[in-house]
Amino acid sequence: MAVIKIMDELLANKIAAGEVVEKCASVVKELVENSIDAKSTEIKVELEDAGTRQIKVIDNGKGMDKDDAILAFSRHATSKIKDEDDLYRLTTLGFRGEALASIAAVSKVDLKTCNGDIGTHVIINGGEIKEVGLGDARKGTTITVSELFYNTPARLKHMKSLYTELANITDYINKLALSKPNIRFTLKNNDNIILRTDGSGNTLKVIQSIYGTDVARKMVPIKGENPDYEISGYISLPEVHRSSRNNMVTIVNGRVVRNIDINRIINDAYHSYKPDNRYPITVINIEVDPSIIDVNIHPTKMDIKFSKMDTLLELISLTIKAAITDRNLIPEVSIRKEKPKKEELRFDLERHTNVPKIEEIPFQEPEIPVNESIFEDENNGDIVHEVVMDEENYQIKEEKKEFMPEMYPVGLVHGTYIIAQNEKGMYIIDQHAAKERCNYEKFKKAMGNPNIASTDLLFPITLEFSTDEFIILKENINILENLKFKIEPFGINSIIVKSHPTWLPKGNEEQTIRKIIEIILTTKKDFSIEKFNEKVATMMSCKKAIKANTNITLEEMEALITDLRNCKNPFNCPHGRPTIIYYSNYDLEKLFKRSGFDTIK
């Protein structure tokens, strides 16, 4: 008797649903991507209880006729590709033909669609077609998915909380809206609007709808290209960062994707401009010939493979660095108007009984003029950087360059913060962070200089290690020699240091040498000379910086500010903390109620 049998189609679809339909957000993703592929210009997503009870997607796309509406729920049925060659030039978001069959297998589906002729209405429960009839003549498609996983209790039991499901859906729709700014998206949960975009094609407006005006004002446009890739989009100023990489959005040919290498290179480009454990907000569009990427490696189609990955990473790194280098990055302290007290607000609502509920107030998109720069203020000029790369070199084109303005010290607070001023306003400088930055760039330059001066030790330093540490150190001894350390073996598992570079801090030579060697030992096989120089320079800069609660003279303040202005990045210490913040004259006047806007009448 045969043991192997062909699986029942409904069972196969339920198994496939395990890969395609992981949560409510998976259903939303597949349905909305179908709407995009149908050339929709307006897409509404309406949820009940974060999608656990019902998910409805309404679009104004090209719709389907009766035959296609029925066939669409068959496994491997798709209009996106016709032969193997189409796999190598995909321009649609969907193409596998698994989504609708998988969704229908584990839910109840109600489909209403029309291609401009006669409408069709299809009802499916658990993968079985229950009813096919006439539907509305409105062009487009409305698909309702309810009671998700009702026939797969094990999967239903492991669904997350309503807040988690809603957060996942919101996150995906946000990213999709950023990838398709020309489509009007509306997301509702229990009739409350979560997101609405205007479909104007302005990515900055979408950023403003998601993150708010304050963040949108601190986004920098970027553009770059090489023979294989074109990139464009927006990146946040270093002062704007989040605790998660989730706000680093990568879009390839209109498809939102995940890529660890791209996220890493973006974060590395901000190195020393922000804390290492914080991440920028970025929206990067990558345009590439479909033949040199592969999106068919995972059912979700969010993981893709790139050919010539090295050239893409180099382009991204250069473009981001060009956008944040040689730019005034001093954070401005903005004084906001005080909100009314809760008692005043409650009194107002009691007086005006006709005030509508929040969810009844019509949505109004805050206006961001398309032809005006949202970045125009005293600190940040609208710098549009374009990086153009060819086979041998690259060029950086920029329209405008601003850097750290001149300022004049007037005093010191708590032996830590320098107060400076100019005609624009007041500046507060962290003297420790500022000195750290100056030291850091000095040490980086010294370590990269092959003609570093060295000094002999009157009393050589002897250091002892374990056997495995000694082996690693011997393999990398040339690194220390290149830095002008003179080191010789001294007995078993020991070395003797006879000279060292002159930039080592006096009085702490042995401790510093031990830490430098410790960096070599901890990196082992993953050792990189660039990372080594980076860690050593950061360590040294902190040791030789001015400590907090140290009073310095006005002349020393002026010298420090001059040194800071000569740095490549005067705005952050090597750890990413700000060195300086700014109060405009207007904000100072607001603080003291001197501006006309805030004067008490």
Residue where a domain stops, chosen among 261, 289, 324: 324
- Sorting pLDDT into bands at 50, 70 and 90, what band is 400? very low
Q: Flag whether pLDDT at 95 surpasses 60.
A: no
Q: Which residue has the higher pLDDT, 386 or 129?
A: 129
In a shared domain, residues 55 and 169: yes
Structural domain total, the chain: 3
Segment 132-159 shows an average pLDDT of 81
Neighbours of 583 (CB within 10 A): 19
What is the pLDDT at residue 91? Answer: 57
Residue where a domain stops, chosen among 165, 196, 227: 196
CB burial class (10 A; 0-12, 13-18, 19+) of residue 139? middle
Q: Which residue has the higher pLDDT, 504 or 398?
A: 504
Determine, yes or no, domain membership for 549. no
In a shared domain, residues 174 and 260: no
In a shared domain, residues 38 and 173: yes
100-110 pLDDT, tens digit each: 888 888 889 99
Q: Flag whether pLDDT at 549 surpasses 80.
A: yes
Determine, yes or no, domain membership for 548. no
Q: Which residue has the higher pLDDT, 254 or 345?
A: 254
In a shared domain, residues 24 and 105: yes
In a shared domain, residues 228 and 187: no
Q: What is the CATH number of the domain that holds 184?
A: 3.30.565.10
How wide is the angle at C-alpha 18 spanned by C-alphas 17 and 19, nearest 5°?
Answer: 90
In a shared domain, residues 63 and 188: yes
- Sorting pLDDT into bands at 50, 70 and 90, what band is 372? very low
Determine, yes or no, domain membership for 511. yes
What is the pLDDT at residue 468? Answer: 82
Residues 6+ apart with CB under 8 A from 430: 416, 417, 573, 577, 578, 579, 580
In a shared domain, residues 21 and 162: yes
SS3 156: helix
- CA neighbor of 407 nearest in space, from 423, 426, 421: 421
Determine, yes or no, domain membership for 125. yes
Q: What is the CATH number of the domain that holds 485?
A: 3.30.1370.100
In a shared domain, residues 260 and 164: no
* % of the chain exceeding 90 in pLDDT: 34
Determine, yes or no, domain membership for 407. no
Q: Token pair of 33, please?
A: 């991507």
What is the pLDDT at residue 299? Answer: 55
In a shared domain, residues 275 and 306: yes
Beta bridge partners of 187: 45, 195
> Across all residues in the chain, what is the average pLDDT?
79
What is the pLDDT at residue 155? Answer: 63
562-593 pLDDT, tens digit each: 999 998 889 999 888 899 999 999 888 888 88
21-68 pLDDT, tens digit each: 778 888 899 899 889 988 999 999 999 999 889 999 999 998 988 888
SS3 50: helix
- If you average pLDDT over each of 12-16, 392-396, 504-508, which comes out highest? 504-508
Determine, yes or no, domain membership for 231. yes
- Sorting pLDDT into bands at 50, 70 and 90, what band is 600? very low
Segment 210-225 shows an average pLDDT of 92
296-325 pLDDT, tens digit each: 555 555 678 888 889 999 999 999 998 988
φ/ψ of 92, rounded to 5, equals: -105, 160
In a shared domain, residues 92 and 228: no
Residue where a domain stops, chosen among 292, 324, 356: 324
In a shared domain, residues 281 and 190: no
- Of 107-111, 241-245, 326-330, the range with the lowest mean pLDDT is 326-330
337-370 pLDDT, tens digit each: 555 444 443 433 333 333 333 333 343 433 433 3
| CA atoms of 147 and 106, how far apart (whole Å) | 8
What is the pLDDT at residue 4? Answer: 67
In a shared domain, residues 182 and 284: no
Quote the domain boundaries for residue 475: 453-502+506-543
Q: Flag whether pLDDT at 450 surpasses 50.
A: yes
| CA atoms of 99 and 152, how far apart (whole Å) | 17
Segment 386-395 shows an average pLDDT of 56
Neighbours of 370 (CB within 10 A): 10
- Sorting pLDDT into bands at 50, 70 and 90, what band is 502? confident
Determine, yes or no, domain membership for 166. yes
Q: What is the CATH number of the domain that holds 254?
A: 3.30.230.10
Q: b/e for 526-552, b at 16 or more Cβ within 10 A?
A: ebeeeebbbbbbbbbbbebbbeeeeeb
Q: Flag whether pLDDT at 283 surpasses 90.
A: yes
220-232 pLDDT, tens digit each: 999 999 999 999 9
- CA neighbor of 23 nearest in space, from 173, 187, 159, 174: 159
| CA atoms of 189 and 199, how far apart (whole Å) | 20
Determine, yes or no, domain membership for 160. yes
Asked whether 222 and 235 are in contact (CB, 8 A), the reply is yes
